[in-house]
């Protein structure tokens, strides 16, 4: 019998998961539902899903696997409603939310088979039009099963093998502690820096122009969806309260060292950070999705951008973002080109260096 799955939520993650599943399992029938009806129509037109679910409640009772590719609060409400339906006895429900402890606790009290999931990948773009079959390649896909159910987990992982992700199993609280430290807290700090700089720029307008360089890069994650991050912070509240308190404690030390001019302590602070950062894995997708950016020094003359994009196009490379950095006036500019994968990034660098005299670098 042909397996049927339901994808509730057809944004970037849900649509990309559907593409990856269909790639490896073309025989599976994928139903899709989204509160945005235009997203459903686009997903059907592009072949991301096979059928549109008019009401997910009606469709769910016929499904073998149900994905909740929606924010965690909405996922919890949907999970509770699913538990009231006459689902198939062997039906598996999984989610793709960024926090796991809250939804796992709710699921543990319900008569369902639930396996928490978190594909740790993303993009600066969102929505069904940003769907990318390679989005999860070499990324970590975390599973947080409520109870040991090897058959259900193996079945779900087989369904998802087209993602080409690295499967990892964690306890829900361990997942939230790790992502809180490595993803959620950095997003808070980045957003705080951007908001502080906005107030600062009102006094020093020139600051906005200078922020186009490195400051923009280190605060890039502050461009993330506000509603999604409100949801994440509230659902991982206790972990983040502890993390923020520890961050404030560390900043209090830095403030003290600065106030008394303790050069040795300040040096050690930066030296330790440098050593730790230098030992982090290179070109790996972790809690925050990696950015695959190529920086090209280009002359200020007509046709340069067309030349670069043309060469990359001839090489069969897809560009997901393109911008000109305006940090240096009236001299060579910097063209920032973003690729889907690190493989495309390295291929793009080699392509430009082989066919032009433009200097290229990675960050």
The pLDDT mean for the chain works out to: 90
Surface-to-core class of residue 327, CB atoms within 10 Å of its CB (0-12 exposed, 13-18 middle, 19+ buried):
middle
Surface-to-core class of residue 100, CB atoms within 10 Å of its CB (0-12 exposed, 13-18 middle, 19+ buried):
buried
Q: Which of 124, 118, 150 lies closest to 17, judged by CA?
A: 118
The structure tokens listed for 318 are: 């897809």
Structural domain boundaries in the chain: 4-170, 175-278, 292-362
Query: Which residues, 6 or more positions from 211, have their beta carbon under 8 angstroms from its beta carbon?
Result: 197, 201
Check pLDDT > 80 for residue 260: yes
**pLDDT bucket at 301, cuts 50 / 70 / 90:** confident
- Segment 11-24 shows an average pLDDT of 96
Per-residue model confidence (pLDDT) at position 285: 66
Query: Domain 292-362 falls in which CATH fold?
Result: VC0802-like (3.30.2130)
Per-residue model confidence (pLDDT) at position 238: 96
Between the CA of residue 175 and those of 55, 72, 271, what are the distances in Å?
A: 32, 14, 29
- Segment 207-215 shows an average pLDDT of 78
Q: Rounded CA gap, 8 and 31, in Å?
A: 8
How open is the CA angle 155-104-13, to the nearest 5 degrees? 60
- Find where tokens 């829900």 sit: 172
Which phi and psi angles does 54 have, rounded to 5°?
A: -65, -45
Strands 92-95, 360-362: pairing is: unpaired
Check pLDDT > 80 for residue 70: yes
Per-residue model confidence (pLDDT) at position 30: 98
Pick the CATH number of 4-170 from 1.10.3720.10, 3.40.50.11540, 3.40.50.720, 1.10.645.10: 3.40.50.720
The verdict on domain 175-278 having CATH code 1.10.3660.10 is: yes
As a whole-number percent, the residues of the chain with pLDDT over 70 amount to 93
Per-residue model confidence (pLDDT) at position 319: 84
Could you report the per-residue pLDDT of 264-285, keeping only the tens digit for each? 999 999 999 999 999 987 656 6
Q: Rounded CA gap, 50 and 255, in Å?
A: 58
- Segment 31-56 shows an average pLDDT of 96
pTM above 0.85, yes or no: no
- Find where tokens 């030992």 sit: 279
- Segment 317-342 shows an average pLDDT of 73
**pLDDT bucket at 215, cuts 50 / 70 / 90:** confident
Q: Which of 362, 279, 316, 290 lies closest to 138, judged by CA?
A: 290
**pLDDT bucket at 331, cuts 50 / 70 / 90:** low
Per-residue model confidence (pLDDT) at position 335: 87
175-278 and 292-362 in the same fold: no
Neighbouring C-alpha atoms within 13 Å toward the C-beta of 86: 0
Could you report the per-residue pLDDT of 103-155, keeping only the tens digit for each? 999 999 999 999 999 999 876 667 899 898 988 988 899 999 988 788 999 99
**pLDDT bucket at 200, cuts 50 / 70 / 90:** very high
């Amino acid at each position: 019998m042909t397996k049927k799955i339901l994808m509730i939520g057809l944004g970037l993650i849900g649509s990309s998961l559907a593409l990856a599943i269909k790639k490896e399992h073309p025989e599976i029938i994928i139903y899709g539902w989204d509160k945005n009806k235009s997203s459903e129509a686009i997903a059907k037109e592009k072949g991301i899903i096979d059928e549109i679910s008019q009401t997910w409640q009606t469709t769910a009772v016929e499904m073998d696997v149900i994905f909740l590719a929606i924010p965690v609060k909405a996922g919890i409400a949907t999970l509770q409603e699913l538990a009231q339906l006459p689902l198939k006895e062997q039906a598996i429900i999984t989610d793709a939310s960024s926090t796991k402890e809250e939804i796992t606790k709710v699921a543990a009290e319900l008569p369902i088979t639930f396996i928490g999931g978190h594909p740790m990948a993303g993009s600066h773009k969102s929505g069904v039009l940003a769907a990318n079959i390679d989005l999860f390649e070499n990324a970590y896909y975390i599973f947080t099963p409520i109870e040991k159910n090897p058959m259900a987990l193996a079945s779900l992982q087989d369904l998802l093998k087209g993602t080409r992700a690295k499967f990892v199993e964690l306890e829900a609280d361990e997942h939230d502690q790790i992502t809180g430290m490595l993803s959620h807290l950095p997003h808070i700090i980045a957003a705080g820096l951007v908001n502080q700089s906005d107030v600062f720029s009102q006094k020093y307008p020139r600051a906005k122009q200078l922020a186009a360089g490195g400051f923009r890069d280190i605060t890039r994650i502050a461009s993330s969806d506000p509603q999604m991050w409100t949801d994440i912070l509230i659902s991982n509240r206790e972990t983040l309260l502890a993390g923020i308190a520890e961050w404030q404690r560390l900043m209090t030390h830095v403030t003290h060292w600065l106030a008394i001019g303790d050069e040795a302590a300040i040096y050690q602070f930066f030296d330790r950070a440098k050593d730790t950062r230098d030992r982090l894995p290179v070109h790996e997708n972790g809690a925050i999705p990696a950015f695959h950016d190529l920086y090209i020094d280009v002359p200020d003359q007509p046709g340069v951008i067309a030349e670069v994009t043309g060469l990359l196009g001839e090489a069969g490379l897809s560009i997901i973002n393109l911008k000109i950095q305006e940090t240096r006036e009236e001299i060579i500019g910097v063209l920032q080109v973003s690729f889907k994968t690190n493989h495309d990034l390295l291929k793009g660098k080699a392509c430009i260096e082989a066919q032009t005299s433009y200097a290229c670098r990675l960050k």
